[in-house]
Structure 1
Amino acid sequence: MNEFKYVGAELELFASANNWKNYIKFLLRKYIKGNVLEVGAGIGSNTRLLSSSHYNNWLCLEPDIQLFNQLKDLIALNSITNCYSFNGTIDCLSDQQLFDSILYIDVLEHIHSDREEITKAYQHLKADGNLIILSPAHQWLFTSFDSAIGHYRRYSKKTLKAVMPDELKVIKLAYLDCVGLFASLGNKLVLKQSIPSLKQIKVWDKFMVPISIKTDPLFGYQFGKSILLVGRKRF
């Protein structure tokens, strides 16, 4: 029996961050294909958004039973085609279950043994398949908010690449949300909040994210509060 309990309380707050989620969708859509595995799908906010991409089947893993029940309801209510959910982790998969795309959207930082997790994910990835990871960036931005929602770490390009299998070809590695970085730094140095308010999330999403969408590419995706890695399994 799975007794995993997610300690965070921010999923509903960030579910309303439409500009941010659409930005992520825009960046990821060309890498999502075929049979998809979404690890740590939570309440299904990213599932609903990203499953509008071209795919064959979509499997959501969620170890927390309460979040899993919400995820199941969301899939049913939104009639997401060929989308299935399972209450468990990647350890629950059989060796025969292989995927063209594996997603960790704001999940890997919650997993204690991240390198071991990614090694397992790699074993379930088909040749030429894509491993997609989005996580919070920069350990120097780690705050009580990270601790409160169960983060073990934040990543830099160096530390995220370090947990990838040597055989994985990194085809995209970028920092995102350069404006949001300064908001996160302000929280760390001044506000010191353990969790943002809904109003703060809406201000960030409405005003800061659109600026980041325009300026991130101008700065070459060299700094931001989040980090995105896409790796491809070699033939």
Structure 2
Amino acid sequence: MPDSAFAYSGSELDVFAAAANWRSYWGDQVHPFLGRRVLEVGAGIGSVTRTLCHAGVEHWVALEPDAGMAGHLARITADGFPAPVSSRHGTVESLDAAERFDSVLYIDVLEHIEDDGAELRRVAAHVDPGGHIVVLSPAHQYLYTPFDAAIGHHRRYDRASLRRLEPPGCSLVTMRYLDSVGMLASLGNRLLLRSAHPKPAQITLWDRFMVPLSRHLDPLLGYHCGKSLIAVWRKDGPAEGAAAE
């Protein structure tokens, strides 16, 4: 689909924008894999950029295929960030072939892309050796609800389905489920409520009480269950500046 034809149909960006505990939780999981040059695919309204961008970043590219959101990003990226942020309207296909990054982020984005395997194969060519591709996505297809459909999710993932997408020339560093307590709430919604749009009060309850419980419980469970799944791949080969053996 050409960039100009893409229009985002979802509403979860606004719904989850105030979920500070959740952003802090997954942000702590992602932060160790950020490099100096970061590509964020599907930057949306800038919530991920605000959560992760820090003074150690040399350059952050916030890539967004929706023209309206890209315009919003362009207005906000000139203000309030501790590192240089460049907002771009486009997709990975629109990147210059020579562009390289230390890390590429897909934070609640890959499930919106119909051909997810081709997307990761394509973006792997833009990652320097030693760099990382980070995917955070909703977990478990049996938790798929009308809300997923309403916001344009093609699927939810489990370990097996996400592992099959391993990009060429990359090795898996970690894969773990997050938010075990939230998973129970999602299962209740799937079986009982089948809500297409969670209410603000539901989001507040989850973020304020369930997410902090999950932060304590998930490690005890070995990160084996949760409503979200994070995977990190490392691009094979010596890191930039490493001495050849």
TM-score in terms of structure 2 length = 0.93
Q: Which residue of 2 aligns with 1:135?
A: 137
Q: Which residue of 1 aligns with 2:167?
A: 165
1:176 aligns with 2:168: no
Map Cα deviations across residues 162-206 of structure 1 (whole Å, 9 max, x no partner): 011253110110000000001101111111100111111111000
Instruction: Name the SS of the counterpart of 1:12 in structure 2.
Output: helix
Q: Which residue of 2 aligns with 1:193?
A: 195
Instruction: Name the SS of the counterpart of 2:5 in structure 1.
Output: coil
Q: Does structure 2 retain, via aligned residues, the 8 Å contact 1:48–1:75?
A: no
Q: Which residue of 1 aligns with 2:102?
A: 100
Q: Which residue of 2 aligns with 1:116?
A: 118
How far residue 81 of structure 1 moved from its aligned partner, in angstroms, is: 2.4
Q: Does structure 1 retain, via aligned residues, the 8 Å contact 2:55–2:82?
A: no
Q: Percent identity?
A: 44
Q: How many residues were matched structurally?
A: 235
Give matches, 1:46-85, under 5 Å. Answer: 46-52=48-54, 54-85=56-87
Q: Which residue of 1 aligns with 2:38?
A: 36
One-letter code aligned to 1:99: F
TM-score in terms of structure 1 length = 0.97
Q: Does structure 2 retain, via aligned residues, the 8 Å contact 1:32–1:54?
A: no
Q: Does structure 1 retain, via aligned residues, the 8 Å contact 2:141–2:158?
A: yes
Alpha-carbon distance in structure 2 between the residues aligned to 1:73 and 1:201: 27
Instruction: Name the SS of the counterpart of 1:100 in structure 2.
Output: strand
One-letter code aligned to 2:49: T
Q: What's the C-alpha RMSD, in Å, of the aligned pairs?
A: 1.1
One-letter code aligned to 1:159: S
Give matches, 1:191-230, under 5 Å. Answer: 191-230=193-232
